[in-house]
Amino acid sequence: DLASARLLLRGQPPVDMRIRDVPPPEDPEGGLRPQGIEGMVEIPPVTQLPEMELRFELTDTEGLTNTRGAVYTLRIDPDGPPRVSMDRRFVRGEVTPRATIPLVIKVTDDYGLDRVSVTAEGVLEGASKTRPAAQEFEAAKIASKDKEVSLGYDLELQKMTLQVGQLVRLQALARDTLPESFEGPNVGKSVVQTYKIVSEAELLEELVRRQKEIREEFELAVILQAEVRDKIRAMGDRLAGAGLDAEAKRFLNEAVKGQRRVAAQCAVTAQQLQDVLEEMNCNRVGAPAEKRSLAEDIIAPLDEICKKPMNDMVAQMDRASNIDNAAGLGSFAKDTHAVLDGFYNYLEMILKAMKRYESRRELAQRLKVIIGISEGILKAIQKELERQGINVFDSTTQPVQPPEK
Distance CA 247, CA 231 (A): 11
Give the pLDDT score at 400. Answer: 47
Report the C-alpha dihedral over residues 262, 263, 266, 268, rounded to 10 degrees.
Answer: -110
> In the predicted model, what is the mean pLDDT of the chain?
89
Higher pLDDT, residue 298 or 405: 298
Residues sharing a CB contact under 8 Å with residue 15, sequence separation 6 or more, in sequence order: 6, 7, 8, 9, 39, 40, 41
Tell me what percent of the residues of the chain surpass a pLDDT of 90.
Answer: 62
Position 105 scores a pLDDT of 98
Question: Does the structure show a pLDDT above 90 at 133?
Answer: no
Provide the pLDDT confidence category of residue 131 given band limits of 50, 70 and 90: low
Q: What is the pLDDT of residue 134?
A: 86
CB atoms within 10 A of CB 266: 26
Give the residue, 133 or 97, on which the prediction is more confident: 97
Higher pLDDT, 129 or 219: 219
- Evaluate if residue 83 carries a pLDDT over 60: yes
Average pLDDT over residues 128-154: 84
What is the rounded average pLDDT of the residues 146-164?
A: 94
Buried b (16+ CB within 10 A) or exposed e, 335-353: ebbebbbebbebbeebbeb
pLDDT of residue 369: 65
Angstrom CA distances, 304 to 217, 300, 301, 325, 343, stand at 19, 6, 5, 34, 11
Task: Tell me what the mean pLDDT of segment 103-121 comes to.
Answer: 95
Q: Which of 88, 266, 103, 107 is nearest to 177 (CA)?
A: 107
pLDDT tier at 126 (50, 70, 90 boundaries)?
Answer: low
Highest mean pLDDT among 67-81, 132-146, 171-185: 171-185
Residue 169 has pLDDT above 80, yes or no: yes
What is the rounded CA–CA span in Å between residue 180 and residue 7?
A: 27
Structure confidence by residue, pLDDT tens digits, 37-66: 898 887 776 556 678 888 888 899 988 888
Looking at residue 144, its pLDDT comes to 79
Look up the pTM and report it. Answer: 0.76
Q: What is the percentage of the chain residues whose pLDDT exceeds 70?
A: 89
Helix ranges, 187-245 (H): 200-241
Check residue 74 and give its pLDDT: 84
- Give the Cα separation of 214 and 208 in Å (integer): 10
Model pLDDT, residue 359: 86
Per-residue pLDDT of 334-378, as tens digits, reads: 999 999 999 999 999 999 999 999 888 776 666 666 766 777 677
